[in-house]
Amino acid sequence: MSDIRIEPTGATLGAVVTGVELASMTDAEWTAIEAAFHEHAVLVLPAQRLSDAEQVAFGRRFGELSIETMAFTNCTEDGSLLPPEDPLMRHLAGNEGWHTDSSFQTRSAKASMLSARRVPSDGGETEWADMRAAYEALDDETRDRVAGLCAHHSLYYSQGRAGYLPSKQNDKGGYDQYGYHDLDTPLRPLVKVHPDTGRPNLLIGRHAHDIIGMDPEESVAFLDQLNEWACQGDRVYHHQWEIGDTVIWDNRRLMHRGTPFDMTEPRRMWHTRIAGEPESEAADNHRPA
């Protein structure tokens, strides 16, 4: 009989899962983890110490991968620090704003995973915010206001606003990096119905901008106010990383952000991203035929 234990965090989201080894889990344990993922939206699995191949295999249980493995880090493999102008360093700094992974792509993510390989002595935590609970807590006036509204999503916009666009442009004045593309800016609703639970969630975050039907100043003010209000109190789970931790979260229900740390200390997180199903995660202006 499985010894798996699922302990809620006490926030409106999140649970800590122990008593299971992801690299060798049984079908019954996977069933329990999948159910907990739908219920709690973010699962913390301590002391897993997954290899790259094991992390990829676990990610594939959730669906097709858009990113198999990618380092989110301020250091090289030997521990030496990256220079401040390195594109990854600027991307990490931008990720300290609340966001939803890949909302700036034509197809947003279903889920994302991080595992901790190196952690600083202080700081560098990750926070998640519950957008289902935020939607449910809206007053009637605001709920009526967001219904039917859509906003564009852009990494170019969010990094530019934060002051962290890449330092080097290509010959055409653009950037030859992930996320900076010339496709039509994805258009997404401010209220999204979760494809598995059928419950509504707010879909906002730092990549969202230029709500259709609002002038730019009104859109900025409204989205800033909504983001600040949504990510408060027991709707936020704050995780202090330990080496070996693995965390998987439902990108369709949550926002997340990194927190600052001493950049003279190495931090190395290993990332896997699960692609969203085209039927539910394609942008409104990029729906499959």
Q: What is the pLDDT of residues 85-130, one digit of tens each?
A: 888 888 888 899 999 999 999 999 999 999 999 999 999 999 999 9
- The pTM of the full predicted model, rounded to 2 decimals, is 0.94
> Does the pLDDT value for residue 60 go beyond 80?
yes
Helix (H) or strand (E) holding 110: strand 109-118
Question: Using 50, 70 and 90 to split pLDDT, how confident is the model at 181?
Answer: low
Phi (first) and psi of residue 126, to 5 degrees:
-120, 140
Neighbour tally for 111: CB within 10 Å = 24
Q: Which CATH number does the domain 5-286 belong to among 3.40.140.10, 3.20.20.70, 3.60.130.10, 3.90.1530.10? A: 3.60.130.10
Nearest CA to 132 out of 53, 38, 211, 238 is that of 38
Q: What is the pLDDT of residue 1?
A: 40
The encoded tokens of residue 121 equal 């002595």
Q: What is the pLDDT of residue 134?
A: 98
- At 222 the three-state DSSP class reads helix
Nearest CA to 250 out of 172, 204, 194 is that of 194
Distance CA 20, CA 122 (A): 28
Per cent of the chain over pLDDT 70 is: 94
> Does the pLDDT value for residue 160 go beyond 60?
yes
Distance CA 188, CA 282 (A): 9
Asked whether the beta carbons of 288 and 282 are under 8 A apart, the reply is yes
Q: What is the pLDDT of residue 50?
A: 98
Asked whether the beta carbons of 107 and 275 are under 8 A apart, the reply is yes
Question: Using 50, 70 and 90 to split pLDDT, how confident is the model at 68?
Answer: very high
Distance CA 188, CA 199 (A): 17
Which residue in this structure is represented by tokens 């090289």? 76
Asked whether the beta carbons of 36 and 6 are under 8 A apart, the reply is yes
Partners of residue 164 on adjacent β-strands: none
* Per-residue DSSP letter, 123: B
Q: What is the pLDDT of residue 84?
A: 85
Distance CA 158, CA 270 (A): 23
Neighbour tally for 94: CB within 10 Å = 21
Asked whether the beta carbons of 247 and 45 are under 8 A apart, the reply is yes
Mean of per-residue pLDDT scores for the chain: 93
> Does the pLDDT value for residue 204 go beyond 60?
yes
Mean pLDDT of 141-164: 95
How far is the CA of 22 from the CAs of 6, 25, 26, 273, in angstroms?
A: 14, 5, 9, 17
Partners of residue 8 on adjacent β-strands: 15
Distance CA 248, CA 113 (A): 4
Nearest CA to 180 out of 118, 120, 258, 94 is that of 94
Mean pLDDT of 24-53: 97
Mean pLDDT of 22-28: 95
Mean pLDDT of 158-182: 74
Nearest CA to 267 out of 125, 164, 129, 166 is that of 125
Distance CA 120, CA 266 (A): 6
**pLDDT digit string (tens) for 216-246?**
999 999 999 999 999 999 999 999 999 999 9
What value does the CA radius of gyration of the chain take, rounded to a whole number of Å?
19
The encoded tokens of residue 243 equal 């080496």
